[in-house]
Structure 1
Amino acid sequence: MILFFVFAGFFTDWLWYDSVGYTSVFSTTVITQILLFVLGALIMGVIVGGNMVIAYRSRPLFGMGMFGGGPSQGADRYRAALDPHRKLIFIAGMAVLALFTGSSTAGQWKTWLLFVNATPFGKTDPEFGMDVSFFMFTYPFIRVLLNFLFTAVIISIVVSAIVHYLYGGFRLQSPGVHATRAARVHLSVLVGLFVLLKAIAYFVDRFGLVFSDRGKVFGASYTDVNAVLPAKSILAIIALICALLFFAGVFRPGGMLPGVGFGLLVLSAVLVGGVYPALVEQFQVKPNQQSKEHDYIARNITATRDAYGIASTEVTPYSAKTQGTQQELQSEVATIPGVRLLDPTVLPPTYEQLQQIKGYYQFPDQLDVDRYTIDGVSRDTVVAVREIGTPPDRNWINDHLVYTHGFGFVAGQGSKTDAQGKPDFLVKDIPPTKGLGDFEPRIYFGEHSPQYSIVGGGKKMELDFPEQTAGGQGSGQVNTTYTGKGGVPIGNFFTRLLYAAKYSETNLLLSSDINSQSRILYNRAPRQRVEQVAPFLTLDGDPYPAIVGGRIVWIVDGYTMSDSYPYSERRSFGEMTRDTSTERQLTPQQPRDHINYIRNSVKATVDAYDGTVTLYAWDDGDPLLRTWEKAFPGVIQPKSKISTELMAHLRYPEDLFKVQRDLIGNYHVTDANAFYGGQDFWKVPDDPSPRSRVKQAPYYVTMKMPNDTTPRFSLTTTMVPNNRDNLAAFMAVDATGGPNAKIRVLQLPSETTIQGPKQAQNAFDTKAASVLNDLRIGGTTETVNGNLLTLPFGGGLLYVQPVYVQPKDENSARYPTLFRVLVMFGSDVGIGGTLKDALDQVFGAGQQAPTNPNQQPPNQQTGVPTDAMKAYDNVQKAYDDGQAALKNGDFAAYGEAQKRLAQALKDLQSTLGKQQASPAPTPSPTPTPASSAAAAPTATPSPTPTKSGS
């Protein structure tokens, strides 16, 4: 039964690889592991088993009596108990040892494939002058081989000593140990081999100094090069001499030579290997560390910047002005594109409430940002797919034969909402609208697909989408049957039996709904599918969907990584990619392995309908990728195969950017002396949310860098000095570029105090409090801050943050809608219903109304022109209607009132402009919240908003 279940798991894996067309990956991996298992088990068995046989056959014929004393009672008892079963014990012991050894060596299949397929880097390390590939591919294999041999020799020494003791080869008695010549020779040779291996290890360890963490930075330090390196060479020679002394014990009886060898080995290891380097470190390096470590810090800087792909980072001094002339700033406002105001981490409830359609559909916990060309202009869009969720009635048929797939793609313009603050959807509903053209809407392969589904069969059992009845009640449904090529055919009895064993489900054998045309879909998550076909890659934590060629495809970024790049800084991949998104568990936690080399070498796609996995070589100059391509030929397609339509949706991966910004915090400093001081080091700021101690996530946004002529879809982040919150730098990369996209950093002067994200958030919270607090009256509503975007603007930096409002009652079907947009430039804050309104508050409206000398006559009672009084009445009514709707929780009515309020304010401004000799700037569409409704009719609002936005 055990063998059957093992076979079922193995054979169904092969069937899955065959269904996706990657059987070569499966066969290469399995054959390599089997060969290493057999080879490791065989060599270990020969070495250890052979020494046990030698020890048994060299046993004395007459027991311990030959030593002149009585037989050892303890050894006799053990021998009497074990000797009748010695063959069984020997076979069982060798089998267990072979199992553990084979499993261990099979686990090194990646190290072996890298070694035999090594590709030169064309770069040499500065200490040994060897190609980097030696340290990346050859050195790790040598260490694995030495560890294997050490283990084999140590186990051989132990088991041989036990056998010699049991069969009288030696005994412990006072004084000392008494052994036969055969036992002494055997053990001397084994110990000599161990010491000889130690000599080889000392020599090989010299190359491992490039991974030392002894000094100020990672890599060989002054002490390593000038003390440890010669010490390793000396110790290798001493160990070789000691090995010869142990071998000499074969010919010369007595323990003097082995004793001298052992003592010399221990003493030299302590004095030469430990004390001497410590003395050099303490008395030469520490008093003069900056000068002594200068060259080695420079090596670390160069290697780290190259290994993490940040050597071409462009750091530009940026004055970061906080003020500018009104004319300059107004002209700059006209160049700002539609900044993304929809926050993909805030809006999942909104997408779910507005587009879920039925309770058995679901949206992800975090939406994705992509871009699509709309009316000839590339626009940021917030996208998601409508995946299948939990069936309303749980049973095996519903779970696996009826509710098999999701349906539809939802995309909202990132910078645009409707009158109620809801997303302006380009694609929505079931069947989907055609805002982005025609496409196959069915999602059989997604991030939340069921564990397995049985599809096809021609019976149309699968729920396709809910059908609206004539009365609009939505009680019907349209069924379908899968016609794609994905999945494994499950028509014959033997295959069904294997999958019944795999999933411990008898219904797979008994169900009459499964026929010769049926297929089983499993391993359906995009990351999971790519991991299976490319086990040599580490994948980005955020796959995202895109419409490409009339199909929904998942795009997954793949990384080649290593921890063996000489001199490069090692850091935890999981810690570097940890930020607010991973803390919310919206994306899977990345492995915490320490790395010091990374490349975004592969772009992968997974078809959401048929599950087709395609791998493209994105960074085809990566030697590590070329090495894997040799090991798995034909698996990765060349970059030239990427279609133009797919290329338009590829983006700079988020996890790579997180890693690079973490390193750039220190390694933007390229001078070794300045690096040693560390005064100019940066860090990623904490998320500006209250009490947050987690790094702020980077943001995708279309923006224009200084000196650029057009905006670009970019991935951006900010940096702050260590132990401070003011801004130190702004960092961005063109997210649409190729594998060599350049990271650009705007470095702020160290003497300035430009506000960082936390400080900007505090300014928003303070200056917008009077507006936002009105929403919290009565405790029925609450506000949610969106992503705090930072944009280069007018020689300075502009902060933009959307603010959403939602009901406070968690039991209601609540969802956030856009309510206000906050902007800040310098110390000036604007608060508007739209981004333009907020910008106008800070920078002015730009275009002024022309002067009209024809003024309306004033009202005889108030002294205010009649038209102005009428316009103001409209302002007051719209404001009062909005407040009433807000208190009642009617956000639709509130949105309409805000629209009327904005129009009434424009009418009022136009009227006042006709009565004045000079034009006035356009007022904020938000009346001063501090003024009460009762007092409002008696005072005309100021047509000029304050810079604080109050």
Structure 2
Amino acid sequence: MSTTRPAAPPARSRTRAAVAIAAAIVAVLVIAFFVFSGFYSDVLWFDQLGFLGVLTTRWASQAVMFGVGFVAMAFIVWLSIALAFRARPVYAKLNSQLDRYQQVIEPLRKVAMIGIPLVLGLFMGVSTATRWETVQQFLYRTPFGEVDAQFGLDIAFYVYELPLYRGVVAYASAVVLIAGLAALATSYIYGGIQVTGREVRITRRARIQLAITAAIYIALQGLSIWLDQYATLTDQKDILTGVSYADDNARIPGLTILAGIAAIVAVLCIVTAIIGRWRLPLIGTALLIIAGLVVGSIYPAIVDRLQVQPSAGQLEAPYIERNIDATRQAYGIADVDVQQYDAQSVAEPGALREDAETTANIRILDPARVSPTFAQLERVRQYYQFQSHLDVDRYTIDGNTQDTVIAVRELNQDADDSWYNNALVYTHGYGVVAAYGNQRDAQGQPQFLESGIPSTGELGEYEPRVYFGENSPAYSIVGGPEGADDDIEIDYPSGSTESNAYTTFTGDGGPQLGGLFTRLVYAIKFGAEEILLSEQVNDSSQILYDRNPIDRVKNVAPYLTVDSDAYPAVVDGRILWIVDGYTTTASYPYSHVQSLSGAIVDSNTPAQPYAIDDINYIRNSVKATVDAYDGTVTLYAWDEEDPILKTWEAIYPGTITPKSEMSDELLAHVRYPADLFKVQRSVLATYHITNPIEFYSRTDAWTTPDDPTETATEVAQPPYYLTMQLPGTEAPAFTLYSTYIPRTSGESQNILTGYLAVNSDAGEDYGKLTLLTLPKDNTVPAPGQVQNQFDSDPVVGRDLNLLSQGGSEVQLGNLLTLPVGGGLLYVQPVYVQSSGGTQYPLLRKVLVAFGDEIAFEDTLDAALDALFGGDSGADAGDGDVPTDPTDPTEPTEPTDPGTLTELQQALADYQTALAAREAAYARNDLVAAAQADEDMQDAIERAIAAAEAG
């Protein structure tokens, strides 16, 4: 008897299968290496910076939380399915449909019983891992030392404990619900639950499992309802945040009742597991739902409608007072110094004598306008650039504190797309450029106190190279063997391409690229095979990346909300970026909740789409510095009493440096952060009202005026830094200020109602908020009205038209408001920029206003003298600077026809010279451009002479 063996599969098929398996293995290995390379590069970056503990703490916490979530879901669901399957009736008579279900499922049953819990566990693990910060803050929670007015619990309960408790209940509810549904489905498929017509039969073992599961789930809902009463303390309502009268007298008692009913229903479910009667828990559940509608919604609404609304001012007053007190405390505005300021509206001769120091420090240089001027005069070569909005700081020059507009000369790689140049040659910027805030030269250009390459000026010697900045490249490869003489990094141009100065980075700024493996990791990270292949990359090379100072601080301190503006300062021989960091929460009881990103929007800070950053507590807890040369990050504990910072210090030990270790020179450049100030001014617009009845009526609510220089869009006017002496203070201080107008429509919006300022000098008065409130019947114009006065004044309009002759463009600078002379003085610089050729604004004129009077002159001194009757008593910073001879001034109507002809001819010559200058710049003919400048100056001098003669 012969047997026939099955034919062996063809060799080609076996080969294809082997190739497919090998390709799959290779693909998995490649993907795994890509993932690993990302983790490994993070380890190298954090380790080099000295913050590896931040990364490992996060990873370890996420891993533990993932494990907890995964095991909790996977094990409980598996256990529920397994118990339901084991409890199935062995000889149950099933209908044909269930038979078919079993036939389909049975071959996959074992896989499904393991696979389904594993997949669900993965989802739960990932979700749970994202909540690691909540758990860590709970474990290391720090008491606030303050209690809420409703339950008498420490604020820490609401910030740290309540979010964890509610999260645990929510996750546990999800696990129990899914486990119950899995048990229900398993019991139904395998006969533990049988539905025949209208009759439902449940086996005893299935009943016990489902009843106990239901009891646990309902008990969890009862616990959730119980916790909801504490959450009412952060509920946002139309009038207030926190518990209202209706909450206190209806909603909170109702939640307590509902939690009790839920506990009773859970007990009834246990009873059902014992006696087998489902009617009781079903009735209890229906009662719970009805009670939830009546006690949780209808009754509080009735109380609010019939009891509260007719007497809202009286009944809500205690709760509004809680809201006011908590909000002012949470936002750090509880101690604001409120002063009544009866502003004068008539400029008296000599009125500025007592405020001479303030008027001498008025900043006429607008940091939002002069970036193109800095770039034209100080960029030096095309591979440098400046930020579009410069920064304001102060420096001590010859013993005097001087407001300064400062910028870092950063790298610009747009002109070259070569990997070699971008990664190895053009690696850093060079030096800072700083100008006096209250001075300009005869041409209207900034008066620099630090400029040039190499840098020279008043700031002394410092390390000028900028490897870490706001516009640094994605990465650079720097460094070389010790003692090497083949520098390839361009340091700065020395007059010609052939004589450029070169350097080699000698700091410790990034991970070492020693070894083929590390180079491969970074070649993958940045998608640049040149990192692996270039002969210029050696064992001494370092790779610098994540170089923006704000990003570096965010990475090493992920718990901080970082200010949107990092500013540079020359400190102790280094360029440091100073970054303000905030600790925030949205869980402070009774405190008003608002969007952080929404509160800081103004003409300097654009809106952030889709930002989710609601807060109701904020502290400037950290001042961070980033070294512009080697990227070193130092976190200083600025608010050492902040409980949230203390908690994070415990989570990340050793990462925060005490405030006492800040050098005196660094302290001299600390300033009050603008974002914090904008948040506080937003809150004070309403919460300057401390009387509950007046707060309820909102009749005295304020808002920040729109920036009058932004005519295209309606955005808030930003706060401004400048040195001034506030009423009631003994000396000038570096100050940040903003103004208020009524929050109503119509002409009243043009009236100033408040003036908010904060001391920005480190010291005893740092952070002192002063609010000058103006009488409600005052007639002091607001910025919008003042700008309208400037624009509509016939003399100003005539002069502005003349300044725009010959294709020039007039740009209005920031409109400053200063409380001097017993009133409020407005100052606005006026810039002129050519509309063609080389374009950069030059400061030509200054507008000032006091009450309804305005003046428009070449210098601030002249404008103040004109405004205050020739005896302003001030000595402004630009008073001794010669008037710009190229600044055309509109004459009065000439009466002599010959004089009029001379004026017209001079203006025509000016336009011809302007066109010649633009053409000269276009062909890079500097000699012809200089000659054209002389012709323009001559034409303007003839125009002025003709105007004066007329």
- Rounded Cα–Cα distance in structure 2 between residues aligned with 1:437 and 1:492: 41
- For 1:784, the equivalent position in structure 2 comes to 811
Alignment of 1:792-807 (within 5 A): 792-807=819-834
Q: Which of these residues, 656, 661, 673, is aligned with residue 636 of structure 1?
A: 656
The answer to whether 1:103 aligns with 2:123 is: no
- Rounded Cα–Cα distance in structure 1 between residues aligned with 2:938 and 2:670: 42
Larger CA deviation: 616-625 vs 271-280: 271-280
- Cα separation, partners in 2 of 1:83 and 1:495, compared to 1, 3 Å: same
Q: Which of these residues, 718, 721, 732, is aligned with residue 700 of structure 1?
A: 721
- Rounded Cα–Cα distance in structure 2 between residues aligned with 1:706 and 1:304: 27
Unaligned runs of 5+ in 1: 66-70, 849-872, 905-926, 939-950
Does the aligned pair in 1 maintain the 2:913–2:935 contact within 8 Å?
no
- Cα separation, partners in 2 of 1:74 and 1:501, compared to 1, 3 Å: farther
TM (norm. structure 1) is 0.88
The answer to whether 1:835 aligns with 2:856 is: no
- Rounded Cα–Cα distance in structure 2 between residues aligned with 1:237 and 1:499: 60
Q: Which of these residues, 192, 197, 201, is aligned with residue 178 of structure 1?
A: 201
- Rounded Cα–Cα distance in structure 2 between residues aligned with 1:546 and 1:380: 13
Q: Which of these residues, 653, 660, 676, is aligned with residue 656 of structure 1?
A: 676
- Cα separation, partners in 2 of 1:311 and 1:334, compared to 1, 3 Å: closer
The answer to whether 1:765 aligns with 2:765 is: no
Q: Which of these residues, 251, 255, 261, is aligned with residue 228 of structure 1?
A: 251
Q: What is the deviation of 1:464?
A: 2.5
- Rounded Cα–Cα distance in structure 1 between residues aligned with 2:104 and 2:787: 78
Deviations 1:1-57 (A, max 9, x none): 222222111111111111001111111111111111111111222222211111111
- For 2:870, the equivalent position in structure 1 comes to 845
Bigger relative contact order, structure 1 or 2 (CA pairs below 8 A, ≥6 apart): 2
- Cα separation, partners in 2 of 1:94 and 1:573, compared to 1, 3 Å: same
- Rounded Cα–Cα distance in structure 1 between residues aligned with 2:516 and 2:740: 61
Does the aligned pair in 2 maintain the 1:216–1:293 contact within 8 Å?
no
Alignment of 1:779-928 (within 5 A): 780-809=807-836, 812-846=837-871, 885=910, 888-889=913-914
- Cα separation, partners in 2 of 1:214 and 1:728, compared to 1, 3 Å: closer
Q: Give the residue type in structure 2 aligned to 1:28.
A: T
- For 1:502, the equivalent position in structure 2 comes to 525
Q: What is the deviation of 1:591?
A: 4.1
SS at match of 2:657: coil
- Rounded Cα–Cα distance in structure 2 between residues aligned with 1:611 and 1:881: 55
SS at match of 1:720: strand
Deviations 1:243-296 (A, max 9, x none): 111111112224212222221211211222222111111111111111110000
- Rounded Cα–Cα distance in structure 2 between residues aligned with 1:94 and 1:245: 29
- For 2:561, the equivalent position in structure 1 comes to 538
Does the aligned pair in 1 maintain the 2:903–2:946 contact within 8 Å?
no
The answer to whether 1:726 aligns with 2:751 is: yes
Alignment of 1:298-309 (within 5 A): 298-309=321-332
- For 1:912, the equivalent position in structure 2 comes to none
Q: What is the deviation of 1:877?
A: 10
Q: What is the deviation of 1:737?
A: 3.5
Does the aligned pair in 1 maintain the 2:404–2:434 contact within 8 Å?
yes
Does the aligned pair in 2 maintain the 1:380–1:414 contact within 8 Å?
yes
Q: Which of these residues, 94, 118, 139, is aligned with residue 116 of structure 1?
A: 139
- Rounded Cα–Cα distance in structure 1 between residues aligned with 2:323 and 2:522: 53
The answer to whether 1:492 aligns with 2:504 is: no
C-alpha RMSD of matched pairs (Å): 2.6
- For 1:385, the equivalent position in structure 2 comes to 408
- Cα separation, partners in 2 of 1:457 and 1:78, compared to 1, 3 Å: farther
SS at match of 1:120: coil
Q: Give the residue type in structure 2 aligned to 1:937.
A: A
Q: What is the deviation of 1:725?
A: 2.2
- For 1:39, the equivalent position in structure 2 comes to 68
- For 1:467, the equivalent position in structure 2 comes to 493
Q: Which of these residues, 719, 732, 744, is aligned with residue 770 of structure 2?
A: 744
- Cα separation, partners in 2 of 1:441 and 1:193, compared to 1, 3 Å: same
Q: What is the deviation of 1:114?
A: 1.0
- Cα separation, partners in 2 of 1:334 and 1:352, compared to 1, 3 Å: closer
- Rounded Cα–Cα distance in structure 1 between residues aligned with 2:345 and 2:251: 54
Q: What is the deviation of 1:772?
A: 0.7
Q: Give the residue type in structure 2 aligned to 1:387.
A: E
The answer to whether 1:340 aligns with 2:363 is: yes
- For 2:17, the equivalent position in structure 1 comes to none
- For 1:853, the equivalent position in structure 2 comes to none
Q: What is the deviation of 1:334?
A: 6.7
Unaligned runs of 5+ in 2: 1-29, 874-897, 918-928
Task: Count how many residue pairs are aligned between Structure 1 and Structure 2.
Answer: 873
Larger CA deviation: 72-81 vs 354-363: 72-81
- Rounded Cα–Cα distance in structure 2 between residues aligned with 1:714 and 1:213: 33
- For 1:597, the equivalent position in structure 2 comes to 617
Larger CA deviation: 734-743 vs 397-406: 734-743
Does the aligned pair in 2 maintain the 1:421–1:895 contact within 8 Å?
no
Does the aligned pair in 2 maintain the 1:333–1:839 contact within 8 Å?
no
Q: What is the deviation of 1:892?
A: 8.6
Q: Which of these residues, 569, 574, 577, is aligned with residue 551 of structure 1?
A: 574
Q: What is the deviation of 1:220?
A: 0.5
Q: Give the residue type in structure 2 aligned to 1:15.
A: L
Q: Give the residue type in structure 1 aligned to 2:44.
A: L
- Rounded Cα–Cα distance in structure 2 between residues aligned with 1:883 and 1:592: 57
- Rounded Cα–Cα distance in structure 2 between residues aligned with 1:619 and 1:262: 51
Does the aligned pair in 1 maintain the 2:351–2:868 contact within 8 Å?
no
Does the aligned pair in 2 maintain the 1:213–1:220 contact within 8 Å?
no
Deviations 1:767-817 (A, max 9, x none): 211111112235x011001000000011100000001000123xx220101
Larger CA deviation: 391-400 vs 893-902: 893-902
Deviations 1:816-835 (A, max 9, x none): 01010110011111111111
- Rounded Cα–Cα distance in structure 2 between residues aligned with 1:3 and 1:746: 62
Does the aligned pair in 2 maintain the 1:574–1:589 contact within 8 Å?
no
Larger CA deviation: 732-741 vs 574-583: 732-741
- For 1:21, the equivalent position in structure 2 comes to 50
Does the aligned pair in 2 maintain the 1:440–1:552 contact within 8 Å?
yes
Q: Give the residue type in structure 1 aligned to 2:786.
A: A
Does the aligned pair in 2 maintain the 1:547–1:553 contact within 8 Å?
yes
Q: What is the deviation of 1:361?
A: 1.4
Q: Which of these residues, 434, 446, 450, is aligned with residue 469 of structure 2?
A: 446
Q: What is the deviation of 1:177?
A: 2.4
SS at match of 2:750: coil
- For 2:31, the equivalent position in structure 1 comes to 2
SS at match of 1:802: strand
- For 1:915, the equivalent position in structure 2 comes to none
SS at match of 2:274: coil
- For 1:675, the equivalent position in structure 2 comes to 695
Q: What is the deviation of 1:214?
A: 4.2
Does the aligned pair in 1 maintain the 2:403–2:436 contact within 8 Å?
yes
- Rounded Cα–Cα distance in structure 1 between residues aligned with 2:494 and 2:294: 85
- Rounded Cα–Cα distance in structure 2 between residues aligned with 1:744 and 1:310: 10
Does the aligned pair in 2 maintain the 1:526–1:556 contact within 8 Å?
yes
- For 2:631, the equivalent position in structure 1 comes to 611
Q: Give the residue type in structure 2 aligned to 1:596.
A: N
Does the aligned pair in 1 maintain the 2:668–2:762 contact within 8 Å?
no
SS at match of 1:6: helix
- Rounded Cα–Cα distance in structure 1 between residues aligned with 2:780 and 2:552: 46
Does the aligned pair in 2 maintain the 1:682–1:728 contact within 8 Å?
yes
Q: Which of these residues, 132, 141, 157, is aligned with residue 180 of structure 2?
A: 157
Does the aligned pair in 2 maintain the 1:885–1:893 contact within 8 Å?
no
